[in-house]
Amino acid sequence: MSDTQSHGLLFSHLLYPFVDIFCFYSYGPSDLTKIARWIATWPSQNGPLWKPSLMVLLREKHLLQPNAAAVAERLFTSTITALTSNPLDFYFTDSWFLPATDSSSSAPIEAGFHEHLAVVRQRRRESGLLLSVEHTNALFERAFESAGTLYHQPIDLIRSARRDIPVSTELADHLVQFMSHIPSPEDLISFASPIIASSLFCDHYLPDMHYLVVRIRPPTAGHSILCIDGGGVRGIIPPAILGQVQQQLDLPIPVQEFFTLAYGVSAGALVKLAKSAFRPSSTASLPGVNWIRAILSDSLYSETDIEIALKSVFGEKAFTEVAYAQRIGAKIGIPAATIKQPSSLCLFTNYNSSRQGTRGYTVLAAAENIKTWEVYFRAKYLAGLGTFQDAGVLANNPLSIALAEFAATNGNAQPDLVLNVGTGTSPNAPLRDEESNFITDSWILRLKRAYMSLMQGRRIWDDVTSTDINAGRNCGRYRLDLTISNPPAIDDTTSMPALVSMVYRDDILLGALPEIAYHLFATLFYFELTALPQKSVSQAGHGLNDPQEQQPLVIKLGDLK
């Protein structure tokens, strides 16, 4: 292992969780490029628990040009991206490029450093990662003791804390017994939750232990559901639509954090994945050969490229370990279809479902052991479960699954908002008074048209909303979609820029955004009692009766205060 690689492992896998700010001096563009090249050698981390900040102090040659900070930031970012295909925020939460004059006084630099350090430490506090000095020292020592294993994975603070104290095999029984002595919800939040959390780390609640923030969703807070249709490369449409919703909201909150449940079909929405997935073979120029190869190999495209791309995005994490979904408390489901007759729907989730026998699909309990990238693309065998294919062949819109999952968890309650985002719908062809053509209307083509129409997400939306008893009310259900007269093939990656452009020019779609944004904003608020309601003195009130009656009804009203 070279010195450069050793230094990269030291900084990226050992010091990374403990550092608040990485600070570098740069005396010219060549120094800046060297720093960027060195950071590019750091092994990638998939969903790290903590990302430090970056500060680069610019001196000498940098100060000879105007806008030194902006120029340096562009050079640094472009170098990182060119070498790794990753943006700068892949390694650091934020970055600062500060011109540092050659004056003898270091007071301005120290002032700026302390200002940024305060911001970073506040971020640590909000993330629950502002450790005490005692804990930092202990974990730091253990990190150095395990330095020999850092080549394979970065330091895991939780595993380090539990290294000498293995988890009891009777932990579940102890927790049940402990919880049976908790008398009220207030004690659950203020006492039981911190005790249990600290016990998982250290087997007891330590004196001067850093404050634990337990995130429990209030029972009076509602739920919002996001459903995204499948569509191959047309999956680029939903991110563009959600970007417009984000712009309409004009809030410093990512639009995905407004939703507590999210369900989607297929993986064509990412440009990088799509270009890797639909890479043409070397025989593409030979007519008919591709179809023969597709029949023999069971697919038009090799799964190798898409698996490499998906692994680079999700790593080897299990589906239940997706860090961002865990942090925002979102429940995520990805439907799949079995390949045996009759083909049926299954659902991979990052949560434990309930009442599975009452629904028309199967929730796979063993999905917690499945790698995230394995639930996408072509038919694939998953050990212990079977072989599955893209759910688009049965239900290209997961709306009915999402509503069934919500009902299984929340009973008869209604979600605050349901947003269904489509990937383009073909308009219905007008009826024509003409006989069928033997060639253009043959049974093969009729079968293809019928099958493709069944895959349109709009059909499932219409079926659900037409049978729902709440469909006639303003129940917060919206569908955002494009009407595309001649939709591109699901593997036509060249059409992706044009599809995004259509989102920005669709007046009907853009006109629906303000109402959805207002509704999403309203979901941020909920009512919570500060004390139990008490019945007050009864009073007489008036209720209006039938207009033909002359006397009003006198009703006894029990006011709540």
Q: Would you name the residues annotated as active-site residues?
A: 266, 390
**Contact between residue 419 and residue 238 where contact means Cβ atoms under 8 Å apart:** no
For the 224-429+436-524 domain, the top CATH level (class) is: alpha beta
> In this predicted model, which residue has the larger pLDDT, 159 or 261?
261
CA distance 34 to 40: 10
CA atoms lying within 13 Å on the CB side of residue 316 = 3
pTM > 0.75: yes or no: no
Measured CA to CA in angstroms, residue 529 lies from 67, 220, 221, 251, 533 at distances of 53, 9, 12, 27, 8
pLDDT, position 245:
93
> In this predicted model, which residue has the larger pLDDT, 169 or 295?
169
Grouping H, G, I as helix, E, B as strand and the rest as coil, residue 87 is coil
Q: What is the mean pLDDT of the chain?
A: 73
The residues near 520 (Cβ < 8 Å, ≥ 6 apart) are: 224, 245, 249, 255, 258, 417
> Letter for the amino acid at 37?
R
Length of the chain: 561
Rounded to an integer, the average pLDDT of 432-454 is 68
CA distance 130 to 115: 17
Q: Specify the pairing of strand 224-228 against strand 417-421.
A: parallel
**Contact between residue 248 and residue 513 where contact means Cβ atoms under 8 Å apart:** yes
242-276 residue pLDDT tens? 999 999 998 888 888 889 888 888 644 344 344 44
Please report, rounded to a whole number, the percentage of residues in the chain having pLDDT higher than 70: 63
For the chain, domain boundaries:
3-159, 170-204, 224-429+436-524
**Contact between residue 386 and residue 201 where contact means Cβ atoms under 8 Å apart:** no
Measuring CA to CA, which residue among 461, 465, 499 is closest to residue 483?
499
Grouping H, G, I as helix, E, B as strand and the rest as coil, residue 216 is coil
> In this predicted model, which residue has the larger pLDDT, 403 or 158?
403
What angle (nearest 5°) sits at the alpha carbon of residue 153, between those of residues 148 and 156?
Answer: 95
497-552 residue pLDDT tens? 888 899 999 999 999 999 999 999 988 888 877 777 777 665 544 444 344 333 43
Q: Which of 180-194, 240-254, 480-494 has the highest mean pLDDT?
A: 240-254
DSSP string over 272-330: HHHHHHTPPPTTTTSTTHHHHHHHHHTSSS-HHHHHHHHHHHHTT-BGGG-HHHHHHT-
The answer, yes or no, to whether residue 335 has pLDDT greater than 70, is yes
pLDDT, position 561:
35
The answer, yes or no, to whether residue 343 has pLDDT greater than 80, is no
The answer, yes or no, to whether residue 360 has pLDDT greater than 80, is no
The residues near 405 (Cβ < 8 Å, ≥ 6 apart) are: 261, 263, 331, 333, 347, 349, 353
**Contact between residue 314 and residue 529 where contact means Cβ atoms under 8 Å apart:** no
CA distance 465 to 453: 18
> In this predicted model, which residue has the larger pLDDT, 244 or 189?
244
CA distance 31 to 559: 73
CA distance 198 to 205: 5
Please report, rounded to a whole number, the percentage of residues in the chain having pLDDT higher than 90: 10
Whether the ω angle into residue 342 lies within 30 degrees of 0, i.e. cis, is: yes
Measured CA to CA in angstroms, residue 473 lies from 400, 419, 537 at distances of 18, 16, 36
Q: What is the DSSP letter of 365?
A: G
Measured CA to CA in angstroms, residue 71 lies from 91, 154, 268, 411 at distances of 20, 33, 35, 56
CA distance 419 to 264: 12
pLDDT, position 264:
84
The residues near 430 (Cβ < 8 Å, ≥ 6 apart) are: none
